[in-house]
Amino acid sequence: MKLYFSPGACSLAPMILAEWTGMSLDLERVDTRDPSPEFLDKNPLGAVPALELDNGVVRNQVDAILQYQCALAPDAGLDGAGNTDDQFEIHRWSAFLTGDFHPPFGVWFNPKRFTSDHGEESLAAIKQATAERIARVAAILDEQVGESGHVALGRRTFLDAYAFAMVRWIKNLQGGFTPYPHLDEFMQAMKGDDGVQRALSSERN
Ligand SMILES: N[C@@H](CCC(=O)N[C@@H](CS)C(=O)NCC(=O)O)C(=O)O
């Protein structure tokens, strides 16, 4: 299988999960600022990650890719399979990460996409409003992680990999991790994990 990725992007999550599940992935770097026509055929939104199966089928959407990886490696126990309540929690926090946590960062990193007024003041106002929204979702995630050190179920799941790939963006905001002590600890613990380190190093090479 081949994973299309971009350094610094949420595509790090399936790379971490591949390490945790012992799944071998070929990696192909994509310039998401200028995606090639070949890549747009694989994802018309030009976004990473995209997972290409050995039979040529391409799968998009990071949370779906992560859950697919978990299904391929059931013994790793990195989802909520087998328990309805656990499954609910996993889907709930996966939906939060995809639908609430990720989007404001997309605006923060690329405000021009969301306004026809590209003047300095207009873009600064959008970034300010977006930073406030990020602060809200980050505070919710900080409370959820709490002392458990994990996003859900009080244990490692694919959501930890997913959150790690995005929570690292907080360092770009004013105040960094200071308001989010649990996320800070979570990030430090994740950085101490060998699989996370290998994924980060693959992302850089
Ligand atoms: N939920 C979407 C989010 C993907 C996404 O926005 N990826 C970012 C990187 S974290 C990207 O490739 N952005 C490029 C762009 O939007 O042009 C998915 O999983 O496909």
pLDDT single digits (tens) 152-161 = 999 999 999 9
CB neighbour list of residue 185: distance below 8 Å, 6 or more residues apart: 149
Q: Which atom of ligand 1 is nearest to the CA of 48?
A: 12
User: Tell me: domain 84-193, CATH 1.20.1050.10, correct?
Assistant: yes
Pocket of ligand 1 (CB under 6 A): 9-10, 32, 46-48, 60-62, 98, 106
Start and end residues for every CATH 3.40.30.10 domain found in the chain: 2-77+197-204
- CA-proximal residue: ligand 1, atom 15 (nearest): 47
Distance, CA of 204 to CA of 143 (rounded, Å): 31
Class of domain 2-77+197-204: alpha beta
pLDDT tier for residue 205 given thresholds of 50, 70 and 90 = confident
Type of residue numbered 178 = T
Start and end residues for every CATH 1.20.1050.10 domain found in the chain: 84-193
Angle between helices 84-96 and 158-167 (to 10 degrees): 10
pTM, entire model:
0.97
